[in-house]
Structure formats: structure tokens, C-alpha cells
Amino acid sequence: MRWNLQVFATIILFFTAHSSFSQKLQDRNLIKNLVFLSSDELKGRESGTPENLRARDYIKEQFIGMGLETQYPDFFQEFRFTSRRENTTITGFNVVGFVPGTESKKIIVITAHFDHVGIGRPTAAGDSIYNGADDNASGTAALIEMARYFSQNPPKHSMIFAALDAEEKGLQGAKALVEDFPFELDQILLNINMDMISRNEAGELYVSGTHYYPEYRALLEEVSEGKKPTLKFGHDTPGTGREDWTRSSDHGAFFDKKIPHLYFGVEDHEDYHQPSDEYSQVNPRFFVDASHLILACIEKIDQDFIIP
Ligand SMILES: [Zn+2]
């Protein structure tokens, strides 16, 4: 019996090791990043709070560990903005890493906001921490792991990995990035933004933006064919109000500068902007699968859209 258990344990270990070798993104890193960023310790990562700075520093340490380059001092793009609600000036920090491309001067800018809304009105059970696990520890966790992958597997286009601050206060970090970008804006091939990629009961992930940039649609269909989650197109039709996500997250700042974007995210759920948006409500399988799928889309775009 004991022997059988040992064999069983060895087999489990083998498959765990085997799958991690064959995977481009390490599932355990994806989950580790998501668990830390959405923990109560970080108190909802509101811009201007010490806990937001802890999230910022965690991302920076990861970037340093992978040997990423950057155009900013200490990886931080510092910016100031006025919060209308609090009527104060807040200092925000984007964390920006860079991987040089091997074949093109064009740049793919990958973004995810790491801030959330912080501490707020408590629930009946007394929970006042808005953890923002799906929104947007999930996108940030994927962004960090994608940066690690591309730092070890150089892309054809240069890539900027920007963990953006103050999205929840009006896309402030994204606006700061496009206002003070380290290269000419017309060098950007496109922005790929991730915001809420860790759960959906129907198993669906949306990619919004192909209404404006249909040149990417066939490629996305090809890459996502037969894969989980199911990649759905839409939420980008003008005149559809809240159903149009074109300015719903950081990619909106790129759109306003006429820079193409693709935005990956799920439809709103009952925990959206609630203290219950925490890790326990995330679907780890969905999140890991979505991260792998988005990476596959990025790699295919990197290979197929070569403009010297
Ligand atoms: Zn968000």
C-alpha cells in the first residue's frame, strides 16, 4: 500500500514536472502572482496607498529577476493626476519593462492595470476589502508571466510590458503612458490589453476591437479554434452604450490616439467591483487557459505581422 502511494506520488510529480516543461507560461507562477496581488494584505491596491506601492514593487522585482530592460528610472513611470472624487493630487506609477525585438522596429504594447478600488463600504459580513482578483490581479498576473516568457524567447517585434496604475480613476496610467511614451507613437503596432480574464460561467473570453481592426480577426479565429476558453468577438460596436467596451479600460487611451488595440476580458459578473471579487471566486482553470490562449494570440501576431 505504502509502495503504491509512493508510485502514485512519483507519477503525479512526473506529470507536474512534464507539463511545466512543455508549457510556455508556468501555471504555478500565474497562480502565485494572482494569489499575492489579490490578497487582503494589499487592501485592494488603490492608487496612492502604501499597499498599491507594494503591488508596484512586487511587479518591479519580478521584472528585475527576469533581466527585463526599461526606458524609465527603476522601471517606474511616475505621473500625477487629480482625483475628482477625493479632490486631491495623487502620484501614480506605471511599471514598464521592455524586451527588444529581433526583426522589427514596431512595438507591441501589452498592458494590464494593477490598481483596484481599495477599501470601501463593508458587506453585511463586514468585508471592506475590494480585492480585485478578477479586476485586475488576473490580467497583471498574466502580464508578468508573459514578460518572463518573452524575455527568454525573444519576439520579432519589440515588446513593452506595462503594468498600469490608476485605471480605476479614469485610465490615468494609460493616458500617462501614451502622453510620455519612450518611442514615437507610430512605432506601436498595437496595444494588447488584459482586464478581467479569470472567470466566466459560460467559459467565454471576449476579444474586443476587431470591429475597428478587422485585419486581426482571421488570425484570432485560427489560433483560438477548438481551444478553451471560447474566444468571442464583439463588445466593440459603436452606439451600443455600455455594451461597447472600446473605452472601458486602458486600451481606450490608445484608441483615442488612433493606435490599434485588442482588449481581452470577460463580461461583468455579480462580484464586479464588490468585496467578493476575491481569489476564492476565481476559476483557476479558466484563468490559466485564458492566459495560454492570449499568449498564443500574441505570438501569432508577432510572427505574422512583420513590418520592418
Ligand atoms: Zn479593470
Per-residue pLDDT of the chain (308 residues; tens, 9 = 90+): 444 555 455 444 444 544 545 689 999 999 999 999 999 999 999 999 999 999 999 999 999 999 999 999 999 999 999 987 778 999 999 999 999 999 999 999 999 999 999 999 999 899 999 999 999 999 999 999 999 999 999 999 999 999 999 999 999 999 999 999 999 999 999 999 999 999 999 999 999 999 999 999 999 999 999 999 999 999 999 999 999 999 999 999 999 999 999 999 999 999 999 999 999 999 999 999 999 999 999 999 999 987 76
Q: Output the CA 91–ligand 1 centroid distance in Å.
A: 19
The reply to whether 2 falls in a domain is no
pLDDT of residue 16: 53
Instruction: Tell the residue number behind the cell numbers 508510485, with chain if given.
Output: 7
95 touches 110 (CB < 8 A) = no
Q: Output the CA 128–ligand 1 centroid distance in Å.
A: 18
Q: Output the CA 294–ligand 1 centroid distance in Å.
A: 17
Please name every residue paired with 110 in a beta bridge, in sequence order, or none if there are none.
161, 192
The reply to whether 291 falls in a domain is yes
Of 198, 196, 190, the C-alpha closest to 262 is 190
Q: Output the CA 195–ligand 1 centroid distance in Å.
A: 5
Residues 6+ apart with CB under 8 A from 86: none
Q: Output the CA 116–ligand 1 centroid distance in Å.
A: 7
What is the C-alpha separation between 156 and 95, in angstroms, rounded?
22
163 touches 94 (CB < 8 A) = yes
Instruction: Tell the residue number behind the cell numbers 481581452, with chain if given.
Output: 264
pLDDT of residue 21: 54
Instruction: Tell the residue number behind the cell numbers 485560427, with chain if given.
Output: 222
| C-alpha grid cell, residue 191 | 496595444
- Give the gyration radius of the chain's Cα atoms: 19
The reply to whether 193 falls in a domain is yes
DSSP-based three-state secondary structure for 297: helix
| Total number of domains constituting the chain | 1
Angle between helices 284-304 and 27-37 (to 10 degrees): 120
pLDDT of residue 84: 75
The most distant pair of C-alpha atoms in the chain lies apart, rounded to whole Å, by: 67
What is the C-alpha separation between 188 and 184, in angstroms, rounded?
8
What is the C-alpha separation between 39 and 167, in angstroms, rounded?
19
77 touches 172 (CB < 8 A) = no
The pair phi, psi for residue 207, each rounded to 5°, is -115, 120
Structural domain span for residue 107: 25-304
Of 114, 183, 116, 176, the C-alpha closest to 144 is 114
Q: Give the chain's count of helices (H) and strands (E).
A: 8, 10
pLDDT of residue 216: 97
pLDDT of residue 85: 74
Nearby residues for ligand 1 (ion, Cβ within 5 Å): 135-136, 195
To the question of pTM greater than 0.85 for the whole model, the response is: yes
The reply to whether 4 falls in a domain is no
Q: Output the CA 94–ligand 1 centroid distance in Å.
A: 15
CATH code for position 173: 3.40.630.10
Q: Output the CA 115–ligand 1 centroid distance in Å.
A: 8
Q: Output the CA 250–ligand 1 centroid distance in Å.
A: 8
The reply to whether 258 falls in a domain is yes
Q: Output the CA 118–ligand 1 centroid distance in Å.
A: 13
pLDDT of residue 11: 46
